[in-house]
Amino acid sequence: MTKDNLSPELYRVIDANLNRLKEGIRVVEDIMRYHHSNKELSTKLKKLRHLAFIEDIKKLLEHRDSINDVLRPTVDSELNRTSLNSIITANFKRAQESSRVLEELFKLEDAKKSEVFKHIRYELYDLEKVISKL
């Protein structure tokens, strides 16, 4: 993070979305790796997860306040998964949405980083299409 145009609240948004992005990718990656034994797809997902990197993690941690998150309690719809495919779909959507939030916020701070998150988002769209056919 270079310009430091972000408020503590926006650092919280970045922190939450970075975690959500990496967690969503990791769920799909692990399903591809362990359930499907698909080295190619799990490797692509792993590389995307590693691209979702922010150097100044201390700044994010400094502003993290997960205890007081107003939406911390689980919503009933989050407990409703009917199949492995529904888990994959939910996690692709979670990761895509988070990468979009990060893409937009980094337009305030670091245009190159914004482009990284845009790249991740489009790669996720493509991987979702491929994986949906398995």
For 85-108, write each residue's pLDDT tens digit: 999 999 999 999 999 999 999 999
**pLDDT over 90, % of the chain:** 66
Domain annotation covers residue 20: yes
Domain annotation covers residue 118: yes
Domain annotation covers residue 2: no
Give residue 124's pLDDT. 98
Domain annotation covers residue 77: no
Structural domain count, the chain:
1
Helical axes 84-106 vs 8-30, angle rounded to 10°? 150
Domain annotation covers residue 55: yes
pTM score = 0.88
Work out the mean pLDDT of the chain and round it to a whole number.
89
Q: Flag whether pLDDT at 2 surpasses 60.
A: no
Domain of 61, in residue numbers: 8-69+86-132
Q: Flag whether pLDDT at 57 surpasses 60.
A: yes
Domain annotation covers residue 103: yes
Domain annotation covers residue 1: no
